[in-house]
Chains A and B, each alone.
Chain A
Amino acid sequence: MFEARLVQGALLKKILEAIKDLLTEASWDCAQGGIQLQAMDNSHVSLVSLTLRSDGFDKYRCDRNLTMGMNLASMTKIMKCCGNDEIITMKAQDEPDTVTFMFESKNGDKISEYEMKLMNLDQDHLGIPETDYACVIKMPSGEFARICRDLSQFGESMVIACSKNGIKFSTSGDIGTGNVKLAQTSSVDKEEEAVIIEMQEPVTLTFACKYLNNFAKATPLSPVVSLSLSPDVPLVVEYKIEDIGYVRYYLAPKIED
């Protein structure tokens, strides 16, 4: 038997919004320690890795490890039936064919239940090597979303260049060029408003704007995003999810032909 109750049901709604445009379907792997999801987009350019720890749920029970293959468009339909202030409980039997989503209003006088058919997904899991990144940037997630949105008007690719002086995002296309430079913050009142750069060596890499814009759909999950870069390896874009876990996006760079 599997049961996971989340009083802050809006978090699960936001998580789904953060992955549903990138992934058509995905396996939710449930174990005693929590729920994990790892999936590539259809083009195999990016990878989503989601971890929700069991201790972040208000109630969590998982007697046997189980994998629930879900169509994310179907799950989105169900999540639209859940109010932002409602409590979500996910339930499934051992070796399940279906998963049940139960939504409770805060005062308990309305309970909705939706049962969704599961899919058999033969998804490969990829091993993500431990990496000491050359540059790790922490910045306000809203600022990152804004930069991705602004620069993607000009070209399909964005160059991210990080040095000790700061970080520069740039693009070029038919109508011209654009760039945004962010300096490391010297002093801030609020930590989540800071731009913090931890740099071992400078890095310049090129990425597809389309994917970065997709990752930015996780912005409502966290005020801060971290970008980890090293030469010739995928970029990691991480959003922490309150006290429960994180969503990480890995994006393969554009490389010299």
Chain B
Amino acid sequence: LRKQASITCFFRKK
């Protein structure tokens, strides 16, 4: 099973 990752896991807040 796969789960949806969040975009914030990859791109950090500036």
Contact = CB atoms under 8 A, between A and B. Distances in A.
Interface string A7-28: 0000000000000000000000
A255 interface: yes
Interface residues of B, number: 14
A125 B14 contact: yes
A129 B14 CA distance: 11
Q: Main secondary structure on chain A at its contact with chain B? A: strand
Interface residues of A, number: 24
Interface string B1-14: 11111111111111
B11 A257 contact: no
Q: Main secondary structure on chain B at its contact with chain A? A: mixed
B12 to A, nearest CB: 6
Interface in A219-257: 233-234, 250-257
Q: Which of B4, B6, B10, B12 has the most CB of A within 10 A?
A: B4
Interface of A: 40, 44-47, 124-129, 157, 206, 208, 233-234, 250-257
Given A124-B14, A127-B11, A255-B5, 15 more contacts: A40-B7, A44-B7, A47-B7, A124-B13, A126-B8, A126-B12, A127-B14, A233-B10, A250-B10, A250-B11, A251-B7, A252-B10, A254-B3, A254-B4, A257-B1
